[in-house]
Chain A
Amino acid sequence: MIKKLALNKSYLLSIFLVGFLAAFKWFGLFIAVPMAYAYSRRRFLAFFIFLVGVMLIFSVSHALWFPDWLVVYKFRSTRFGPPFHSSLGVLLQEFGISISSAYLPLMFGSWFLVQVLCLVNRLRPSLAIVLSLLSILIWAPDTTAQMLFMLTLLVLLEVNWDRPLWIGIVFGSTLWMTLMAAAAIGEIIPGLPFVNRLSFLSGPYGGPRLAFWAHLPLFLLIPKILEAARRKNASNLRTVE
């Protein structure tokens, strides 16, 4: 079994790349389970070795400055206050819903649900990778419009581009989101000096109006995400498996 795995270059390379990504950016850890699932092809030992390999690379990367870097984890674990940027919490607060004491349960609860759905084969791995990132970042209190922009692009790689209208709607709303973020920040984009005049629509940076515009493309994509979740045998499954 081990010998077979060792000969599988793509399997070993993916362990290295996911481990490298996790060592470089935390979000690499969040996608480790669906990646392991995709590359282990439902073989438990291969799945287990994949995760151990990723964790090993992640741990070794922490060998430097041990245990000084604990300060970063302490800082991160308490980072649930301002600045709120464009988070969903800001928007929900406007409707009288406070999630300020539930950030961690919401993040890890929804992330865990995605992992379970992937492991019981209810989500294809590529969609599970996208949703793993979405489930963590969507609840983060310091989520920015830039993060949401990147999440929207990631989701777009998974949904069905069957109608040009969808492409227009999502790109249009993403462009609008970008303009609103620029207007709220108050920076004038060179060549587009009118942008800061749109601040009467964006509201101040960190406010509920900007949070709404920043989430709008993802809200529009919800039906397509659900459709993608039902479409288990989509073509992009092949690219992962």
Chain B
Amino acid sequence: MGCKTENFEKSLFIILLIVGLIIRFYCIVYVDWTNSSDLNNYFWAASQVATGESAYRLWAQNLAGPRADLLPFELVIMSAVVQIWPSPEALRWFFVVD
């Protein structure tokens, strides 16, 4: 009985995970959202890091346009994504699993 419940919970978790990823893919990548200001914010920050600049320093000194609030590690990963595929589209794909 306990094993059955555990299996049910595992199956439910996997189903929710897959359905969630499909929905996220549909909403984030497939749908052509007209409001992409957030995406450009993140792309700007990741691009700064990819060129060796500190996005935080630019924000601190008010030298930056768009504003974002990312943890350093998250920013590092985003910059790695942007270095592989230098386009805001790359971040769209990344946000499916982010």
A residues bordering B, Cβ < 8 Å?
23-26, 61-65, 68-72, 75-76, 79, 153, 157, 161, 187, 189-190, 235-236, 238-239
Q: Is the CB of A25 within 8 A of B72?
A: no
Q: Tell me the bound Cα distance from A161 to B12 in angstroms.
A: 11
Q: Which residues of B contact A (CB under 8 A)?
A: 2, 5-6, 9, 12-13, 16, 20, 31, 33-35, 54, 56-57, 59-60, 67, 69-74, 76-77
Question: How many A-B contacts at CB < 8 Å in the complex?
Answer: 64
Question: Which residue of the partner chain A has the closest CB to B8?
Answer: A161
Contact check, B69 vs A72: say whether CB atoms are below 8 A apart. Answer: yes
| CB-based contact B57/A65 at 8 Å | yes
Across the interface, A25 reaches (CB within 8 A) one of B5, B12, B74, namely B74
> Which residue of chain B is the closest to A72 with respect to CB atoms?
B69
Q: Contacts A68-B57, A75-B67 hold; do A239 and B6 have CB atoms under 8 A apart?
A: yes
> Are A68 and B74 touching (Cβ within 8 A)?
no
B20, B70, B72: which contacts A62 (Cβ < 8 A)? B72
Q: Is the CB of A61 within 8 A of B6?
A: no
A61-B12 in contact given A68-B60, A72-B56, A235-B5 (Cβ < 8 Å): no
Contact flag A24-B69 (CB < 8 Å), given A65-B54, A238-B6: no
